[in-house]
Each structure stands twice: as C-alpha cells, then as structure tokens.
Amino acid sequence: MPDLTHHSVLLAEAVDALAISGGRIHGVYLDGTFGRGGHSRLILERLGEGGRLIAFDKDPQAIAVAKRFEDPRFEIVHESFADLDVVLDARGIEKIDGILLDLGISSPQVEAADRGFSFRLDGPLDMRMDPTRGVSAAQWLASESEEKIAEVIREYGEERFAVQVAKAIVDGRSATPITGTKQLADIVAKAVKTREKGKDPATRTFQAVRIHVNKELEDLEVGLAKAWGRLSLHGRMAVISFHSLEDRIVKRFFADRATVRQPHRRLPIRAAELPQADMKLLGKAKPSLAEIETNPRARSAMLRVVERVLLSSGEVT
C-alpha cells in the first residue's frame, strides 16, 4: 500500500458503520470519494477474499495514488460517484452491500497552490477536482453574469455580502482578467465589510465557486439516490459531510426515506398493508476532541449512517 499523507476524518467510525462482518465480508462495497485512500485501505482490511471494493474519484492525482494499491479485490474508477449506476451496470453488479461517501476536498488538494482551491496560497484560479474536464473557476468568473455570480455566492457560500462581492468581481474583471487565487481573495476582502472571527473574508466565496464549478451538490443529490437504489437488504450507507449545505441534503434525503406518511387511522386498512419506511436511521457522529486537535479540518465533519431495511416490490436481494 502507498504511504498516506491525508488524514481521513472519522476513519474508524465510518468504516465500522458499514458493519463489514459475517457473510458481508464477501460483499461488494463502494468508496465514493477515494481521496488518498484512507477509508478504502481500512475497508480492504475488513473484507474477505471474496469481497470487492470499487472506489471513485474525479481527481487524477487521487487516481494515481489508487493505482498503487496492489489488491485484486480493489478497483479505482475515474468518475464521480454520481455515475455509479453506469459503472455497476458495466460490471454486471446489481446490488451493493455498503457505500461510504467522504465529501468535500482533501488536504492535498487544498495545500497544492496549483490546484487553485486555497485563498492562502497564490496560484492559478482553477478549483476543478478534475483539471482535465469542465470549466475552471477563472473561466466561469470571466463569462458569467453578475446576477448569477451573486446567486452562487449567496446560495453555496451563504455569504451575506454576495451582491457586493459579485459586483466587485465584475468590476475587477473589466479592468484585468481574474486568473489567480490571491487576486480573487483580494477583491473579495475589499467587498466584505465585516469579518467573521477567525475566518478569512474569502472563505465563503471560495467555497461557493468551488461547489459550483464541480457541481458538488448536484452530484451529491444524484449519487445518494442512485446509491440507495443499489443497496441490498441490510446494506448500509455512511456519509461524512463538512458544511451545512452538504449535511442538509444528506439529512433531508435520509429523513424522507426513514419516514412514511400513514393513511388516516379510520381507513379500513390492515396493519400488514400499511406503508413502511425502507430506511433505518442508525445515528450520527462527530470527530472527537483528540481528532480535531491533530486534524483541525475535522472540526466541522458530521457522519450520518443508515441501513436498508426493506426492498421495494420487484427488487432482488
């Protein structure tokens, strides 16, 4: 196995939540966000010889790390987990026994100036998880309308000065193309009138632009639905989110599946005919103080875990 430079958040807790034991050690599992392989490595330690782990990642650097995993049970796929149905169909896999999603960005991505994720390191304004596909942050900011930029910063960054920041970006690009991270951070800093304690004024804008460029929330909504449709009976899903937008989507999706509106109690329906939820909420967890001390980026993480407890009519186990 390769050396791991990224500290996977809630490593043991997330993999424990998949309950890889008994007959399920020979099952099929997905790591939807490989990163630097911390979760995948531990999943492989739990799997039996007949087990299988398919990992996904959009980042070519993560793919390069994954290709050094010498394990016949493991496969890395250079795609978003939102495409998991296509990947599974191509391999003739109908059901999976568990999936783990570790959302957000990894430390190596943030700490590499040339990736353009950090407002603290000057580099090209890229922000794409996969620099070989799609439109970079610089390209998007150069062509998008002021109204749309404000909408993205307000919705994805929860920035109350979104209108002012968008205007400053449009005014700035009319004079000089915005191509660097420090350049954008300086523009934002002048537009944000008050600063949150301990937080750089560019934090929310950078988060918003990154989420939009990578379609992170769209991928999350699609991926959750597709993964749930593939889970076998008693299969589990563990999701680690890092900000309120992600966690809100996960929490709502889980809540909708775990509760079913019941018919009026006076209707002539037998108990066996009452609609039942197909999901069971197994709880949530946050990093310990010890983990946060060693890895400050873990402080906002939230792990939520669910189990499939009912298959729809016509589904196979």
Angle between helices 162-175 and 146-157 (to 10 degrees): 140
CA 30, 85, 26, 41: dihedral to nearest 10 degrees? Answer: -20
Q: Is 23 annotated as a binding residue?
A: no
Q: Is 89 annotated as a binding residue?
A: no
Q: Is 39 annotated as a binding residue?
A: yes
- What is the rounded distance in angstroms from the CA atom of residue 120 to the CA atom of residue 117? 9
Residues 105/159, Cβ–Cβ less than 8 Å: no
- What is the rounded distance in angstroms from the CA atom of residue 75 to the CA atom of residue 228? 21
Residue 237 DSSP one-character state: E
Q: Is 126 annotated as a binding residue?
A: no
- What is the rounded distance in angstroms from the CA atom of residue 29 to the CA atom of residue 18? 9
Q: Is 119 annotated as a binding residue?
A: no
- What is the rounded distance in angstroms from the CA atom of residue 186 to the CA atom of residue 207? 15
CA dihedral over 118, 121, 126, 129, signed as positive or negative:
negative
Q: Which two tokens stand for residue 43?
A: 């999943």
Q: Is 81 annotated as a binding residue?
A: yes
Q: Is 171 annotated as a binding residue?
A: no
Binding-site positions read 37-39, 57, 81, 102, 109
Binding-site positions for S-adenosyl-L-methionine read 37-39, 57, 81, 102, 109
